[in-house]
Chains A and B, each alone.
Chain A
């Protein structure tokens, strides 16, 4: 018996890439689907919201961050000036404090999730109560889009090498959700894999997808008994893994995924590569990587492939080298014993990158509005200033209007209100009415006042 001659290379079947044609999976919101005002679907259903967090490590320079004026028409300072083009969508939050005894760079665990992190004596992840806000929203929307949520990262440089000190996303039960750092790989994973220009090829691809689904079915059938034998932390990890397998199986089995391609969802391959393992030290292509990630997010939002992301631009206590502004030193070190003007330049550079994503969303129409209108994106860091490690008055800023639940062009001062309550307000701005956020001393059951319209 000789192996059958394969029409399509296995690699092509795996990746679904044929003759350079990438095929996307769903339709964007098209005007013909909407009501006459472009404010809802024709059947009256609301246009969906999106949620995300854009994270950076080492805080800000407060004198260049905190506005002088309150309320509508507040003033931008040098480190928020990059947001001038999206100020109408900006809710500047000042005066919110971390409600936890955890301090310094470890505070991120505490205030993003209120899980405890006794990182010197036990396993590092913050514990079973950690359940990050982005995941609360994504879980509430589970099943409504092909991809549950994206966890993305740009700089691999942690504190001293590529250790994973701090993460931005934790699943229900506290399992860490690792970020993806390579835009090309993210792109391939979420946009590529179905259909084809040619019916014979499409049929072969559909068959291959069906067989992959059968394989996953067998994997699950032999796996589920494991959960009963492990402790709580492992159960949370397996939950995350099994959920991923089931979701992949659903996607592979879904014939409708071979829907015809819509022009807006036909991205070219990004061509952008993130920094590889081991090449993290000195010359990371931060702008290119982030731009590619931002474009992926724009497309994924536009085509409703996912509605939730976390983006870790640099890591907690990140020692990224910002060669783009002319330094060879590591950011974390500079914050403590370097020129604070240089820290400022780096902060402006980072916020400029953030604005690239925000402007892309603003410039992508959805009916009468745009993607940013239907988004809530929290920008934040783990400390007040890198030099001082303050856990009060953290940098927090919301972008987007949550489909109308946020007014925009507002500065709201919390006067010492907990960050957890501000985050609960951000969650509610998406329409997800979570009853609480965080645990222990950080638990909030009421959103911070004044943020929601």
Chain B
């Protein structure tokens, strides 16, 4: 057992040795197996705005929800996950999972988990004679039965979101034959289903586009079917959408718009939009929320689920049922409360034990997304409020302002905090300091008016026994308290373009890109409705969703 000191770049030869040992790895080049993606000849029109510079195409690993939904669509809903589906990847608290999916990898542990899951799903279906026959659609007598090829062709198209190439079908039919030599054809088909489900073509969304003029890439056809369906339904495309792709209906903005409208009528689209708001509003910490029991002795962490549920119901009502203008999401006084949440809000519950819509008083402090307990609690620390987190959200996520990271000299000298003082007193010390002032002047006047809501989103009238000063201002416009601030934000011309940019980032799955503001301007100049649903449809029909930049080569 010697080990020769090896330069890292010799990894490739080391691996080659490993593969040689196995003696059973056959490589079949499947380039060209995808039909119609002859890179150099197919030239599509360029994106309409030359100033837009999108990142190059990326493989996106299915998110946990996308994986779970898609497997169930393919195999039937009644399935058990025998181990944890590899977790979503988020850069940080502001990161979207749709963007993290472009960076998430399938490492050794994930590979084994996906193998185990796919074998188990297939076993759960094929152990049941009725289920397996319903899935396969016939009772093959042996591996050469034509129905084997038919099944692989049909199931493969749905699993991989495109027709399998001839080579792919040959490999899978070959697998059935090989396995059937030492077992039954049903067992062979079972393992072939597992093969299709642990393939990179299943685990990643392969939406690489085709060459367009100007070095960009246009996404169309089956790739667009995949992109649209995962974006709006968090699952792979169904046969109808794949057929539409085959018919060329997804090759231009108008076709994408039409199908986006259709998909948004699907009740399952609600969950996908709720997920967007959950990530946009950074509600992840509500699950298993922790509050310091010495500060909040009566707080039941289970209420965190109610906080989240309320926002989901507000989104469904405001975006789908009433189609409110985006600005009105900040002042909308329709709330949804469980009995416990009604208590928390100090309002009467209409009755029953579930969530019920109520209209909050028009002159009260609460109303709009920023005044939900869910937003307020997720923008707080376990023991106290966080005007910085609240102000930061408004600046970055609602107004798309650029707040620089604290400069190094600040980072090296964070002031010592006197926790006996009120938040406003503490923050006044920050604004007095020349180094801290730049950021705090931008954040505090938006965060401090919300001090009327504590770290669990309950209304309060004092902080550490002292009366609250809720004065704030938005770039010169003064206000008092959350409700007046929400009115100012609703009318601020930056909010709708900023929301549009976040919609573009989330649904296209790309980080902030040059020309993003121009995309928002184009979308909003198109006579689009003021509600999120209408804007989303235009974003999907825009360059941001239908194009990618050139393939990026490394240094």
Bound complex: CA A411 to CA B521 (Å): 60
Selected contact of B18 from candidates A3, A135, A247, A280, CB within 8 Å: A247
Residue on B with the closest CB to A428?
B5
Verify A123–B103 contact, CB threshold 8 A: yes
- Within the complex, the shortest CB–CB distance from B113 to chain A, in Å, comes to 8
Verify B175–A215 contact, CB threshold 8 A: yes
Verify B10–A140 contact, CB threshold 8 A: yes
Verify B381–A14 contact, CB threshold 8 A: no
Binary interface encoding of chain B residues 12-39 relative to chain A, with 1 for a CB under 8 A from any of its CBs, else 0:
0011011101111111111111000100
Binary interface encoding of chain B residues 104-130 relative to chain A, with 1 for a CB under 8 A from any of its CBs, else 0:
111111111101100110010011010
Verify A221–B18 contact, CB threshold 8 A: no
Determine the chain A residues whose CB is within 8 A of the CB of B382 once the complex forms.
Answer: 282, 321, 328-330
Task: Tell me if B59 is interfacial: C-beta within 8 Å of chain A.
Answer: yes
Bound complex: CA A405 to CA B285 (Å): 46
Verify B200–A151 contact, CB threshold 8 A: no
Verify B106–A207 contact, CB threshold 8 A: no
Bound complex: CA A246 to CA B17 (Å): 11
Bound complex: CA A163 to CA B94 (Å): 8
Determine the chain B residues whose CB is within 8 A of the CB of A286 once the complex forms.
Answer: none
Verify A125–B417 contact, CB threshold 8 A: no
Selected contact of A45 from candidates B1, B8, B27, B405, CB within 8 Å: B1
Selected contact of A173 from candidates B139, B168, B554, CB within 8 Å: B554
With contacts A176-B89, A280-B288 taken as known, whether A1 is within 8 angstroms of B186 at the C-beta atoms is: yes
Residue on A with the closest CB to B30?
A225
Determine the chain B residues whose CB is within 8 A of the CB of A279 once the complex forms.
Answer: 288
Verify B5–A11 contact, CB threshold 8 A: no
- Within the complex, the shortest CB–CB distance from B345 to chain A, in Å, comes to 23
With contacts A207-B182, A277-B84 taken as known, whether A160 is within 8 angstroms of B3 at the C-beta atoms is: no
Verify A249–B24 contact, CB threshold 8 A: yes
Determine the chain A residues whose CB is within 8 A of the CB of B213 once the complex forms.
Answer: none
Verify A330–B381 contact, CB threshold 8 A: yes
Selected contact of A139 from candidates B11, B100, B106, B179, CB within 8 Å: B11
Segment with Cβ contacts to B, from A348-356, A373-381, A412-420, A432-440: A432-440
- Tell me whether chain B's interface is mostly helix, strand or loop, or mixed: loop
Selected contact of A160 from candidates B27, B59, B186, B285, CB within 8 Å: B285
Verify B200–A248 contact, CB threshold 8 A: no
Determine the chain B residues whose CB is within 8 A of the CB of A321 once the complex forms.
Answer: 290, 382
Task: Tell me if A212 is interfacial: C-beta within 8 Å of chain B.
Answer: yes
- Within the complex, the shortest CB–CB distance from B228 to chain A, in Å, comes to 21
Bound complex: CA A232 to CA B289 (Å): 39
Verify B103–A125 contact, CB threshold 8 A: yes
Residue on A with the closest CB to B202?
A219
CB within 8 Å of B: which A242-278 residues: 243-250, 253, 276-278
Binary interface encoding of chain B residues 200-211 relative to chain A, with 1 for a CB under 8 A from any of its CBs, else 0:
110000101000
Determine the chain A residues whose CB is within 8 A of the CB of B48 once the complex forms.
Answer: none
Verify B24–A140 contact, CB threshold 8 A: no
Verify B111–A103 contact, CB threshold 8 A: no
Task: Tell me if A177 is interfacial: C-beta within 8 Å of chain B.
Answer: yes
Bound complex: CA A223 to CA B83 (Å): 24
Task: Tell me if A69 is interfacial: C-beta within 8 Å of chain B.
Answer: no
Task: Tell me if A62 is interfacial: C-beta within 8 Å of chain B.
Answer: no
Verify B195–A434 contact, CB threshold 8 A: no
Residue on B with the closest CB to A148?
B108
Determine the chain A residues whose CB is within 8 A of the CB of B182 once the complex forms.
Answer: 207, 211
With contacts A246-B18, A249-B24 taken as known, whether A281 is within 8 angstroms of B289 at the C-beta atoms is: yes
Selected contact of A233 from candidates B58, B139, B198, CB within 8 Å: B58
Task: Tell me if A189 is interfacial: C-beta within 8 Å of chain B.
Answer: yes
Task: Tell me if B466 is interfacial: C-beta within 8 Å of chain A.
Answer: no
With contacts A123-B103, A161-B285, A215-B191 taken as known, whether A144 is within 8 angstroms of B84 at the C-beta atoms is: no
- Within the complex, the shortest CB–CB distance from A60 to chain B, in Å, comes to 15
Task: Tell me if A201 is interfacial: C-beta within 8 Å of chain B.
Answer: no
Determine the chain B residues whose CB is within 8 A of the CB of A151 once the complex forms.
Answer: 107, 109
Task: Tell me if A213 is interfacial: C-beta within 8 Å of chain B.
Answer: yes
Verify A224–B109 contact, CB threshold 8 A: no
Bound complex: CA A238 to CA B392 (Å): 37
Task: Tell me if B90 is interfacial: C-beta within 8 Å of chain A.
Answer: yes
Verify B92–A128 contact, CB threshold 8 A: no
Determine the chain A residues whose CB is within 8 A of the CB of B113 once the complex forms.
Answer: 185
Verify A231–B288 contact, CB threshold 8 A: no
Determine the chain A residues whose CB is within 8 A of the CB of B416 once the complex forms.
Answer: 337
Selected contact of B8 from candidates A131, A222, A238, CB within 8 Å: A131
Task: Tell me if B526 is interfacial: C-beta within 8 Å of chain A.
Answer: no
Bound complex: CA A434 to CA B10 (Å): 11
Bound complex: CA A139 to CA B288 (Å): 39
Known: A119-B91, A164-B92. 6 other contacts (CB 8 A): A45-B1, A180-B109, A218-B192, A230-B58, A328-B383, A329-B381
Q: Nearest 5 A-B pairs (CB), nearest first?
A: A232-B554, A124-B91, A282-B290, A160-B93, A128-B554
User: Can you report 19 residue pairs joining A to B where beta carbons are below 8 Å apart?
Assistant: A11-B120, A144-B3, A163-B93, A211-B182, A214-B191, A215-B119, A215-B175, A219-B198, A222-B201, A225-B32, A232-B552, A240-B106, A281-B289, A282-B288, A282-B382, A329-B382, A387-B414, A432-B5, A435-B7
- Interface residues of B, Cβ cutoff 8 Å to A: 1-3, 5-11, 14-15, 17-19, 21-33, 37, 55-59, 82-84, 86-87, 89-93, 95, 99-100, 102-113, 115-116, 119-120, 123, 126-127, 129, 139, 167-168, 171-172, 174-175, 178-179, 182-184, 186-187, 191-192, 194-195, 198-201, 206, 208, 282, 284-285, 287-294, 301, 381-383, 405, 408, 411-414, 416-417, 419, 511-512, 551-555
